[in-house]
Amino acid sequence: MKLKAIIVDDEAPARENLRFLIQDYCPEIEVAGTADSVKTARQLIGEVSPQVIFLDIRMPSGAEGFELLESLPEKKFQVVFVTAFKDYAIKAFNANAIHYILKPVDIDDLQAAVKKLVETNELFRNNTENFSNYIKSLENLTKNMNLNAPAGRITINHAKGFKIIDPADIVYLEGEGNYTTLYFADSTKYVDTKTLGIYEDILDPRKFFRIHKSYILNISCIKEYLNEDGAFAVLKSGLRLPISRHRLNEFLDFFRQEKQS
């Protein structure tokens, strides 16, 4: 069964281009209509009850796209943000596990986004709590984008769905290839499909430090620094994690600055 979608973009050529790309390359999606404004989008959503909205946003304010989401009291759809802006927006999307594609739209990126939509829709059908968490992530994203603030909470994927976490609960992160394992203060851990590099962008650099190509640490969880047969950060639990040589000076400078402040 196809997912019913609408496209919201104030530029007619952009709407038509995306509609044609979906029709030609994404058989999993049925485009049920397009809208050129918040008003027409709200009306169209009421008429067709889409499962997916391809939503253009304007950065840095993102006023139009996020105004639409905030105006809807009930959200029963997934959102794919379509944007020409990178940097902060991408960090916010990644932090909240929200789908996005960049303009100009690349066919491979579009198909990858649609594949995720289909997979996520299955998770929602099997567990309504997953959808509830998704909506919370969407609302969290809207709040962060409007305030132009770093992610207050982070959404992570796991085998059975989604989990929304407070970064303060993370002790450290370990990266391996395209996966990252997050270790929490309550001794639980989760494996996410975001890379460690993405987490380095997402997390507040005043509170998290990448000490090694494989590790990012919560600064508040470090108990000791050891320079013994190599450089190590010792956590409050007693666990030792290596500090790579090319990150050591920056690590020491960070704590010198903390001591002086």
For 242, counting Cβ atoms within 10 Å of its Cβ (0-12 exposed, 13-18 middle, 19+ buried), the class is middle
Q: What pLDDT was estimated at residue 163?
A: 79
d(CA 24, CA 114): 13
Residue 130 CA to residue 151 CA, distance in Å, equals 20
Over 80: is that where the pLDDT of 200 sits?
yes
Helices (H) and strands (E) in the chain, counts: 8, 15
Fold classification of 169-260 is OB fold (Dihydrolipoamide Acetyltransferase, E2P) (2.40.50)
Tokens (6 digits) for 41: 């989008």
- The percentage of residues in the chain with a pLDDT greater than 90, rounded to a whole number, is 46
Residues 210-221 have pLDDT tens digits of 999 999 999 999
Strand order from edge to edge, sheet including 189-192: 189-192, 179-184, 170-176, 215-218, 208-212
What is the pLDDT averaged over residues 127-149?
74
What is the number of other CB atoms lying within 10 angstroms of the CB of residue 94?
19
Name the strand (E) or helix (H) holding 66. Answer: helix 63-71
Q: 3-149, what's its fold?
A: Rossmann fold (3.40.50)
pLDDT of residue 214: 96
Question: H/E element holding 226?
Answer: strand 222-227
DSSP reduced 3-state for 176 = strand
Residues with Cβ within 8 Å of residue 227, at least 6 apart in sequence:
none
Top pLDDT among 38 and 239 is at 239
Handedness of CA 186, 209, 152, 80 (dihedral sign): negative
Share of the chain above pLDDT 70, in %: 89
Q: How many CB atoms lie within 10 A of CB 107?
A: 11
Cβ proximity of 209 and 217 under 8 Å? yes
How many CB atoms are closer than 10 A to CB 130?
A: 18
C-alpha to C-alpha distance for 53 and 113, rounded to whole angstroms:
12
29 Cβ neighbours under 8 A, 6+ residues apart = 2, 3, 5, 22, 52, 114, 117
5-30 pLDDT, tens digit each? 999 998 889 999 999 999 999 999 99
67 has pLDDT over 50? yes
DSSP-based three-state secondary structure for 234:
strand
- Tell me how crowded residue 223 is: count the other CB atoms within 10 A of its CB: 11
> Domain residue spans in the chain?
3-149, 169-260
pLDDT category, 180, cuts 50, 70, 90? very high
